[in-house]
Amino acid sequence: MPLALRSHFGALAGGLEHALAIATFAHAVQPSGGTLTPVIDSQRPTSEFDRFSRLVTLLQDVVAHAGYTIDDLRREGFDEPVLSALTMAHRH
């Protein structure tokens, strides 16, 4: 079910807008039984940690409930620290 959006985002691949697009799509077509709750503040991130935590928040349900894998998100251009956090969250 993964949607390849990287080419549409160009230099913004792996960013918040890209994560929001994937989370929104995954929410719209989620398989039954899962609950996706993408939450993001509309204000610009105030720090790199804020950006990082928003990316993880948007993408963790995508991995847990929507059929995306860490490798799918890696191909989409998301950074390894984000992917590592998602891997750790998904194991618990």
% residues pLDDT > 70 (the chain): 70
**With left for phi above 0 and alpha for psi between -120 and 50, is residue 33 left, alpha or beta?**
left
Instruction: Render pLDDT for 63-91 as a digit per residue (tens, 0 to 9).
Output: 887 778 999 999 989 999 999 999 998 77
Q: What is the pLDDT of residue 12?
A: 66
Q: What is the pLDDT of residue 40?
A: 58
Q: What is the pLDDT of residue 79?
A: 93
CA distances from 46 to 51, 52, 56, 70 (A): 8, 11, 16, 26
Q: What is the pLDDT of residue 92?
A: 62
CA 24/CA 29 separation, integer angstroms: 9
Q: Distance between terminal CA atoms of the chain?
A: 23
